[in-house]
Structures are given as C-alpha cells and as structure tokens.
Amino acid sequence: MMIRVDAEVSDELASAFPHLTPRHHRAQTTLVGELTDQEELQGVLNLLSSLGIPVVEVLTIPND
C-alpha cells in the first residue's frame, strides 16, 4: 500500500502509523507498508484528514 500526502510528515507524526514507512519527496511524503484490511486503511485516511493533511494518492502495491 502506498499513500501519498501533500505535506511533509514529521518523524513524530509518522510514528502514528507504525505499519508504514515515510519517504520524503519535496513537500510530499509517501507512507509505504502493509495494512491488514480496509478498516485499517480507513483509519489511516481518517487520521490524516483530521490532521488537515490532504491525501493525493492511494495505491495498492502488488506483493512480489
């Protein structure tokens, strides 16, 4: 799973998403990792929204 947000997510904030690894890209961050189900994804999206962080893209990355 990859979630791209239109903000630089600090390490402190990224710790709120223990299953995701932040990768910073000039004023954007991608959070990459495994989410167990749709409910967990919705929880991440809800938290980002409540923090005022716009989500730009959500992708499912196939397992190799």
Buried/exposed 27-54: b ≥16 CB within 10 Å, e otherwise: eebbbbeebeeeeeeeebeeebeeeebe
Domains of the chain are: 2-59 (3.30.70)
Q: What percent of the chain has pLDDT over 90?
A: 58
Residue entry with tokens 């791209």? 4
Average the pLDDT over 49-63 and give the result. 90
Where are the alpha helices (H) located in the chain, listed in sequence order? Answer: 11-14, 38-50
Query: What sign results for the dihedral spanned by CA atoms 27, 32, 37, 43?
Result: negative
Tell me the pTM: 0.65
pLDDT of the residue at 25: 78
Helix (H) or strand (E) holding 29: strand 28-33
pLDDT at 63 over 80: no
